[in-house]
Amino acid sequence: MGRKGKKEKKGRGAEKTAAKMEKKVSKRSRKEEEDLEALIAHFQSLDARKTQVTETPCSPPCPRLNASLSAHPEKDELILFGGEYFNGQKTFVYNDLYVYNIKKDTWTKIDIPGPPPRRCAHQAVVVPQGGGQLWVFGGEFASPDGEQFYHYKDLWVLHLATKTWEQVRSTGGPSGRSGHRMVAWKRLLILFGGFHESTRDYIYYSDVYAFSLDTFTWSKLSPSGPGPTPRSGCLMSVTPQGSIAIYGGYSKQRVKKDVDRGTQHSDMFLLKSEEGGEGKWMWTRINPSGIKPTLRSGFSVAVAPNHQVLLFGGVCDEEEEESLEGMFFNDLYFYDAIRNRWFAGQLKGPKSEKKKRRRGKAEACENTSEQEQGVANSPEPLEVVKEVVDEDGTVVTIKQVLAAPSLAAGPPPEDEDGTLEPSRAPVEPCPRSNAMLAVKHGLLYVYGGMFEAGDRQVTLSDLYCLDLHKMEEWKTLVEMDPKTQEWLEETDSEEDSSSGEGAEGGDEDQDVDSGESGEEEEGCHG
């Protein structure tokens, strides 16, 4: 009995120690949030200088990922908000607002008084009422050194007709998070998942919330049936039948101290509103047929003209304890909810392109690639095969064909009748993750995102367009040469470390110079 009592005491002691540790971690997390809140407040004071709406014609926005790109419900415009950029040493987070005029092929920077604080990995949903509204929830702010994160739980609406921002305050909403997904369903905004991370801990969510556009109130939904496990970055889209589809996503778990294991999910669910049950919802797991996307995370999603859900790009990560390697994609997949079927998006190529060409001798050009069909004397494409383990234990083989390098400028190739024909490489976005997608008038627009080249993270600012009706070829609207992007090597010197801290909480001039999207265009780097 004595030994048992000691054992119980020891158990209670361990619980107390764990509780103390949790309290310490929670206290440190609160301290981190307070530090970041002060920095966010400082930048908001800079934004408060804006007293009237100004619209300035400008060049395309600077490189970024995890922003939002939305199609205006009434005008031929795309709306770009927020995002982030990392130059190797500092993280820059934005709350700038750009409009791309599709017909004129022009960009305008719009400064509106009282905007939301700087953020990335938020969600933005456009609804048609009131001349068009852009609803924004959550997201995160990262410190310049990228070590601390503040997750928002605020809800904002941009009234497109009057060009005014409004913060909508309502209790009972989701906790602070980023990487969540949100869609408009009837007169509701439905929100699912996401994650919250501090320097010492993280949590992934699988909860579901609804915000009423009529009453401006939040309610937490409790769907019946087994639903998705906690995750962020998933596909979320309303189907023609009125259900909400959830596919894939990413989460990580702690395997042991300081070691995490990431999971790239590939399961799929439908969230349905039960007939006759006011506010009652139900989860159903589904297993679509067809050609499913290969295992990946960081993909981007849009809705195609025929109500099919479109998935673009992403990255397949292979994690080791000390390293992380990613294979990036630029392929397209479509999910047809009516047939419950996936299929790969195949481009037909331009109609005028001649299939048979001869190419003269030329030197291979560095850091460029193209996919030539029927070209003689060109290098063979390289096929990379990798095996990854799916979340259910299934071994999945991923094949990626890397196009042969293009050939340097030389004499134009000759056609079979001996006439000179200009050579034209097929246009396509390079493989990437966390890009921004929007569809307008059946045209798919892809903006920015990122890929990795060795230890370097390349953030993009290019813009491509694809006609989803014809599915012939990509069109380049904004070009970008990744080699021109600023990249600063990491350093462990105390001097640089202290300057990083200065950027976090230094004086006003230093903060603006740190690129946190201050008053001037120079806030954008790259």
What is the three-class DSSP state of 84? strand
Inform me whether the pLDDT recorded for 428 exceeds 70: yes
Inform me whether the pLDDT recorded for 395 exceeds 80: no
Structure confidence at residue 92 (pLDDT): 96
Structure confidence at residue 516 (pLDDT): 41
Pairing status of strand 106-111 against strand 188-197: unpaired
Mean pLDDT of 451-458: 91
| pLDDT digits 0-9 by tens, 465-508 | 999 999 999 999 999 888 888 888 765 543 443 333 333 333 33
Residues paired with residue 302 on neighbouring β-strands, in sequence order: 310
Inform me whether the pLDDT recorded for 330 exceeds 70: yes
Structure confidence at residue 367 (pLDDT): 38
| pLDDT digits 0-9 by tens, 246-298 | 999 999 988 887 788 899 999 999 999 987 667 799 999 999 999 999 999 99
Which candidate, 239, 143, 118, 129, places its Cα nearest to that of 185?
A: 239
Structure confidence at residue 254 (pLDDT): 87
Q: Are 459 and 450 spatial neighbours (Cβ–Cβ below 8 Å)?
A: yes
Q: Which two tokens stand for residue 208?
A: 């579901």
73 exposure class (CB count in 10 Å sphere: 0-12, 13-18, 19+): middle
Q: Which two tokens stand for residue 316?
A: 């397949």
Structure confidence at residue 13 (pLDDT): 53
Q: Are 398 and 327 spatial neighbours (Cβ–Cβ below 8 Å)?
A: yes
Alpha-carbon distance of 377 to 383, in angstroms, equals: 18
What is the three-class DSSP state of 340? coil
Q: What average pLDDT does the structure give for the chain?
A: 80
Mean pLDDT of 375-379: 35
* Buried/exposed 405-442: b ≥16 CB within 10 Å, e otherwise: bbbeeeeebeeeeeeeeebeebebbbbbbbbbbbbbee
Q: Are 111 and 50 spatial neighbours (Cβ–Cβ below 8 Å)?
A: yes
Structure confidence at residue 393 (pLDDT): 55
Structure confidence at residue 360 (pLDDT): 40
What angle do helix axes 2-47 and 494-505 make, rounded to 10 degrees?
70
Q: Are 465 and 478 spatial neighbours (Cβ–Cβ below 8 Å)?
A: no
Least confident residue range of 97-101, 174-178, 316-320, 490-494: 490-494
Structure confidence at residue 439 (pLDDT): 97
Q: Which amino acid is at 398?
A: I
Q: Which two tokens stand for residue 410?
A: 């030389």
Structure confidence at residue 289 (pLDDT): 97
| pLDDT digits 0-9 by tens, 209-227 | 999 999 999 999 999 999 9
Inform me whether the pLDDT recorded for 193 exceeds 70: yes
The residue with greater pLDDT, 70 or 261, is 70
* CB neighbourhood size of 388 (10 A): 17
Inform me whether the pLDDT recorded for 373 exceeds 50: no
